[in-house]
Structure 1
Amino acid sequence: MYEETQEREQQISGSKTKGEGENVRETWTRPSQFFFYCLGYAVNFGNVWRFPYLCYKNGGAAFLIPYMIILLVAGIPIFCLEVTLGQYISLGPATLFPKLAPILLGLGVGMVIISFLTAIYFNIIMAWIFFYIFATFNAVLPWSNCNNDFNTPACYMEEGGAMCRNRSLYYYDHSCLNASEYCQLGHLSALNHTHCYNPDSPTQIKPVEGTVLRVMASEEFFRNRMLRVTGRTWDDMGEMQWELVGFLLFAWIIVGACLVKGIKMTGKIVYFTALFPYLILVILFARGITLDGAYQGLEFYLLKPNITRLTEVEVWSDAAIQIFYSLGICFGCHITLSSYNKFSNNCVRDTFAIAIFNCLTSVFIGLVIFSILGFMAKELGMVVEEVATSGSGLVFIVFPAAISLMPFPQIWSILFFIMLLTIGLGSQFTMVETVLTALVDQFESLQVYKAQVVTFTCLLLFVMGLTMCLEGGIYMFELFFFFSAGFSIIVLGLMQLIGVQSVFGYRNMMLAMREMGIDQPRVVTWYWAVTWLFLTPATLIMIAFFYLHLFMPAYWGDYEFPSEIQVLGWLLCGSSMISIPIGAIIAIAKNKGSMKNLFVPSPEFCPASVRPLLKAKGTETEPRFRYTMYHNDAFMDTEMTTKEKSHPPEK
């Protein structure tokens, strides 16, 4: 049957007129382009600033146990489901799911909305990276000292601190103070050379060094120089940061210029964006493990597993959320990328390979990060736990501070931030391509205006990101980061799984794989049956429950966002989920037959090679046409022959 399908594809493509051929869907030049595109998308900022922190926080190497279990029971099954559907139907999510069942009209739209919202704040990170790259071209890294006009008296340099400690004094604002002077900064009195006390409450005693808040020079560069967020709140977002606006525009120009030529161009670019980060990671790791203190960092990260943490619900919840973030499932991106595959590509093999590469990459990035953090802790006389953090603070505060302590810091800074840049581009290409594909699939006439569609989309995303370039823009960024792709991807993933298995079914999924020429061992087919039908939906329900149970309000640093902003965040989260009931209402309103029609695949839920036959025969035969795997050719011939006898073609 596979050979027959291929022959039918060739006959159809050979019979197209010039006008029809203009709307033929692009495909990858080589299967490896799909693999590296997916790998570049899966390996994203979350692998750098989230996984290493979660690993050390949740028991070190022991965290890999729930991580791998969730990967097997939820991550890989949903990943494979998406790439199989996309490759088989050759459509993006916004047009695929309505053809699967009209009632699912809003499911694919919700996925595209998530990609759209994520793309907005993702390029803000790219703008920050460009800011740091340009700042690196200085004789002295501006985040390595407290001698800048944006620094405050609380800025702390270890070099100055060490000099003061040798004199039994305390460093503050480029000066060495005695215990009495230092205690007065905190409105306390000196008890002795090492402790202060509160005159109004003499029993309140604290160490002298803990009296005044110390701020790292790299943190002041991030907060006071780049963001200028100091003193800003949601009620006062400050002025526009035109430097960041320029870098944001530059980032969107790069993304748009690469996407305007279509997947054949970006398919070549992703070879670089997917592989180049590994080269830099190897270089950074080779340097990191030679630094004094690297072993302590690695020991803290992986070498002392705490098995007892596996009994805590939070550990399993963190593992599940990280799998969704890391693989990027339920964003509609895997469906989009696989829709450009050749019909015969072995997408199941790619699923396992990409998932394994992604997980190994996460572990390796953690080795790089913690080898250098161990060095930093050693240099500052601290323990690794005191310097380890997650999120933007890791890559824009802690890691730059660690790099500034290394010989030739400009070189290592350039390498690190270019690595982040290429990682970000790989993910951003995919999310924006998902939005573009949704538009072009929905309005096929736009295919000939690809440049205009790309330009308009990138311009719209750029404008929507401008609020994050305000002095208080970090708050808007964190709001998007908290809510745009959290609980919603779990809900959409569950709806996707239920919709596909209840309408299309496990048996038809297996037949679709066989029709595409994908042969699988029996144990793998049983694996899909157990996960798709039982384990994965149960896991998603538990993840959703614990996500809500353990949810914390959005915040940044010590500033928890006001309640009305939390409501705004949930509205942002609901913007993708609300598309499901809205789509169902629209489908019901448009339905002119029985309600059963809303829950059955449309005639166009079939391979791309078959859909032209529907259009060629016209609407008269379309309602009677049905694509039945493995029996379609005989069925189609019988149907068409019967119809042609009663309505012979015009000469």
Structure 2
Amino acid sequence: MTAKTETRSDRDTFNTRFVFLMAAIGSAVGLGNIWRFPYVAYENGGGAFLVPYLVALLTAGIPILWFDLSVGHRYRGSVPLAFRRITPSAEALGWFKVGVNFFIAIYYAAIIAWALLYTIKSFNQAWGDDPAAYFMGDFLNVDAEKVISASVVWPILIAMIFVWALCILFLATDINKGIGKLTTFFLPILTVMFLVLVVRALFLDGAIDGLDAFFRPNWSVLSDPSVWIAAYGQIFFSLSVGFGIMITYSSYLKPRTNLTNTGLVTAFANSSFEVLAGIGVFATLGYMAAQSGVAVDEVATGGIGLAFIAFPTIISMMPLGALFGVLFFGSLFLAGVTSLVSIMEVVISAVADKFALDRRKAAVSTGLIMAFFSCLLFSTTSGLVTLDIMDKFVNNMGIVLGAVASLVVVGWVTGRRRELEQHINAVSSVRVGTLWQFLTFVTTPLVLVYFVAREIFSVATEGYEGYAGLQLTLFGWGVLVTIVLFAVALSAMNYRGSNRLDGLDASDYGVPVKGRTKGTPNPLAVS
């Protein structure tokens, strides 16, 4: 019997590069752009932070983005399959990245549900005179003592079910009708909404003071290593590199796609949105400071506190606050959804490849499992604590550990540096060479190792936010161990219908066969 082989037509392909760009930018532009970058920049030198930020973008963000795009485009599979095609022993590394995306997705959906509810609450400003007490009390009913609470917060559960149903619906169709249409519709709306929000913020009393606080450069910070580490960390997390998202998305690109130009457009679009978010956020914080009669540094904050406490306070102060609230929380919702579908796609694509499932079955079955754990853990009164711990360990540690491991394995253990360089140059207008290899496989891993080592040492010696040891063990260290164990177990399982994965030839994907050393096995074949 002749083995069935996979051809280009067997895998979904983005219809146009524009659709891919919308998907990639939608993935990169997420909650962190709006609530993380402005505060990180403010805390690390204001306008001066843009110098290390730009350096980090050029020396790490774009090179690693090109790395992810080249791996997905050349080996044309989900993350575990792509790494298996590099070397079978690296498949577990791909499943580690899938595990990281699984856990990020289940708590990310909760924040999107909060944003959806706050969009509705903006009409009547339901948080009242004390947004902090409302958020922690009436809205979340936070119980920080229980490790796992059985008390369900019903509005949050209902909103989460809606978020999961929406994402599963779009992911259950082919990538052009699902991810493609979702991002090409939501991303322009997000951009218009946020532009309107920024323009409105710029005309508020005190906006100039807020912008001055945001952009005023403190050049002395450039000699502080922690500022440079913060810049590299911001670029790394905001661009969606190292997750496996761009590897997955680029596996759906057409064979002769210009990878370097695609990466540049994605990177600069993401950074432009971050700067725009900084302008909007700090113009608004300037208004809050002026109305409260305090300095901007007394109201500046980031993360969940900025979105669900500071901004509701501002909305209650300002004229046309309801409209401003709908624009802000609606932007958070849209940015969150476009990012969540990309995170889920990493998991769904991997499951579909491993178990030979069609897209609909993989999306529904995997999505329902993720939704179950998400609602179980994050719709309860202990959800906020669980979310905070899981985010610290999975986002700040898991992503970085997976990224470092992939760069070391691909670049040094298997020695594929030259092969990926040739692949990029075969399909792209901007050529890469020794400098790209050095930035990608030497300097960036060193910076990331320092970053994650500092994170691990800090949590191991000082704990995190005063949470109990059992909470950190279960939802922090325990989650990382679980990801490792599942990665090893899944990589040990055989691919169902694996014959269809043989016979792929590198010449189909942009790099001539002669680019391989004579006698070397086809890197795209799965053994």
TM-score of the superposed pair, with normalisation by structure 1: 0.73
24 and 223 in structure 1: CA distance in 2 versus 1, 3 angstrom threshold: same
Give the aligned partner of residue 354 of structure 2: 442
Q: Cα RMSD over matched residues?
A: 2.9
Matched residue type, 1:484? V
Aligned to 1:499: 409
Given candidates 471, 479, 483, the residue that maps to 2:393 is 483
Residue matched to 1:472: 382
Match of 1:76 in 2: 62
Q: Hey, what's the Cα distance between the residues in 2 that align with 1:29 and 1:539? A: 37
Q: What amino acid is aligned across from residue 76 of structure 2 in structure 1?
A: S
User: How much has 1:415 moved relative to structure 2?
Assistant: 1.2
Q: Over residues 473-532 of structure 1, what are the superposed CA-to-partner deviations in whole Å (9 max), with x where a residue is unaligned?
A: 1111112111112222222111111221232422212222244x32434xx424313213
1:259 offset after TM fit, Å? 1.2
1:348 aligned partner: 260
- Cα distance in structure 2, aligned partners of 1:577 and 1:66: 33
Q: Is the 8 A contact 2:261 2:429 kept in 1?
A: no
Q: Distance in 2 between matches of 1:432 and 1:97?
A: 19
Mean alpha-carbon deviation: is it higher for 308-317 or for 261-270? 308-317
- Once residues 214 and 478 of structure 2 are traced to their aligned partners in structure 1, the CA distance between those partners, rounded to angstroms, is 37
Could you tell me how far 1:142 is from its partner in structure 2?
A: 1.8
- Offset at residue 102 of structure 1 (A): 1.6
Among candidates 509, 512, 521, match of residue 420 of structure 2: 509
In 1, Cα distance between equivalents of 2:350 and 2:110: 23
Question: Deviation at 1:236?
Answer: 7.4
Residue 28 of structure 1 pairs with residue 14 of structure 2: yes
Counterpart residue number, 2:314: 402
Other-structure match for 2:473: 567
Tell me the distance in 2 between the aligned counterparts of 1:631 and 1:378: 63
Summarize deviations over 1:113-155 as a string: whole Å, max 9, x none. Answer: 11111000111011111221222343xx12243xxxxxxxxxx
How far does residue 93 in structure 1 lie from its aligned partner after superposition?
0.7
Q: How does 1:592-607 map to 2 (within 5 A)?
A: 606-607=505-506
Compute the displacement of 1:608 (Å): 8.7
> In the alignment, is the contact (CA less than 8 A) between 1:90 and 1:608 conserved in 2?
no
d(CA) in 2 for partners of 1:418 and 1:424?
10
Give the aligned partner of residue 455 of structure 2. 547
Q: How many residues align?
A: 506
CA contact (8 A) 1:110 1:492 kept: yes
Checking the alignment, whether the CA contact within 8 Å between 2:75 and 2:85 is kept in structure 1 is: no
CA distance in 2, matches of 1:580, 1:22: 27
1:462 aligns with 2:446: no
Aligned to 2:236: 324
Displacement of 1:393: 0.8
Q: Is 1:309–1:315's contact at 8 Å kept on the other side of the alignment?
A: yes
Q: Is the 8 A contact 2:119 2:329 kept in 1?
A: yes
- Secondary structure of the 2:395 match is coil
Verify the 8 A CA contact 2:147 2:471 in the aligned structure 1: no
Question: Are residues 631 and 461 of structure 1, via their aligned partners in 2, closer, same or farther at CA, if it must alter by over 3 Å?
Answer: closer
- The 5 A counterparts of 1:203-218 are 217-218=130-131
Cα distance in 2 for partners of 1:364, 1:573 equals 34
Give yes or no for contact 1:60–1:301 (8 Å, CA) kept in 2.
Answer: yes
Give the match's secondary structure for 1:484.
Answer: helix
For residue 211 of structure 2, what is the aligned residue in structure 1? 298
Provide closer, same or farther for how the CA distance between residues 411 and 464 of structure 1 changes in structure 2, counting only shifts above 3 A: same
Q: Is the 8 A contact 2:48 2:222 kept in 1?
A: yes
Q: Secondary structure of 2:342's match? A: helix
Amino acid at match of 1:376: M
Residues 261 and 430, structure 2, Cα contact 8 Å, conserved in 1: no
Matching of residue 630 in structure 1 with residue 514 in structure 2: yes
Change (3 A) 1:542 1:414: same
Worse-superposed segment, 87-96 or 307-316:
307-316
The structure number with the bigger radius of gyration is 1
2:268 aligns to what SS in structure 1?
helix
Matches of 1:471 and 1:307, distance apart in 2: 44
1:272 is aligned to 2:178? no
Report deviation, 1:66: 2.0
Distance 1:316 1:360 in 2: 19
1:531 corresponds to which of 439, 443, 447: 439
CA distance in 2, matches of 1:104, 1:605: 19
Distance 1:401 1:413 in 2: 10
How far did residue 583 of structure 1 move? 7.7
SS at match of 1:343: coil
1:324 deviates by 2.0
State the distance in 2 between where 1:22 and 1:497 align.
27
Deviation at 1:299, TM superposition (A): 0.8
State how far apart, in whole Å, the 2-side matches of 1:22 and 1:347 are.
18
Correspondences of 1:413-424 after superposition (within 5 Å): 413-424=325-336
Q: In the alignment, what sits opposite 1:199?
A: none
Per the TM alignment, residue 67 of structure 1 is displaced from its structure 2 partner at its CA by 1.9
Distance change >3 Å, CA 97–CA 415, structure 1 → 2: same
1:518 maps to a residue whose letter is S
What is the aligned counterpart of 2:134 among 216, 221, 224? 221
Deviation at 1:431, TM superposition (A): 0.8
Please state whether the residue corresponding to 1:471 is helix, strand or coil.
coil
Greater mean alpha carbon deviation, residues 254-263 or residues 304-313: 304-313
In structure 1, give the amino acid aligned to 2:282.
F
Show CA shifts across 1:556-596 (max 9, x none).
xxxx2112222221221343355677688x59x99xxxxxx
| 1:375 shift after superposition | 0.4
Flag structure 2 segments of 5+ consecutive residues without an equivalent: 496-500, 521-527
Residues 618-648 of structure 1: per-residue CA shift (max 9 Å, x gap): xxxxxxxxx963368x999xxxxxxxxxxxx
The percentage of counterpart residues that share the same residue type is: 28
Question: Structure 2: which amino acid aligns with 1:392?
Answer: I
Deviation at 1:365, TM superposition (A): 0.2
| 1:343, distance to aligned residue in structure 2 (A) | 0.5
| Whole-Å separation in 1 of the counterparts to 2:148 and 2:254 | 52
- Check the 8 A contact 1:55/1:61 in 2, yes or no: yes
Q: Is the 8 A contact 2:121 2:127 kept in 1?
A: no
Q: Structure 1 CA distance, aligned partners of 2:147 and 2:82?
A: 43
Structure whose residues are more often helix by fraction: 2
Q: CA deviation at 1:335?
A: 0.6
Q: Quick one: which amino acid aligns to residue 463 of structure 2?
A: P
Q: Secondary structure of 2:163's match?
A: helix
Shift of 1:84: 0.8
Kept in 1: contact 2:419–2:515 (CA 8 A): no
Shift of 1:352: 1.6
Aligned to 2:98: 112
CA separation of 1:412 and 1:242: change in aligned 2, threshold 3 A: same
Preserved CA contact (<8 Å) 1:377 1:384: yes
Shift of 1:273: 2.2
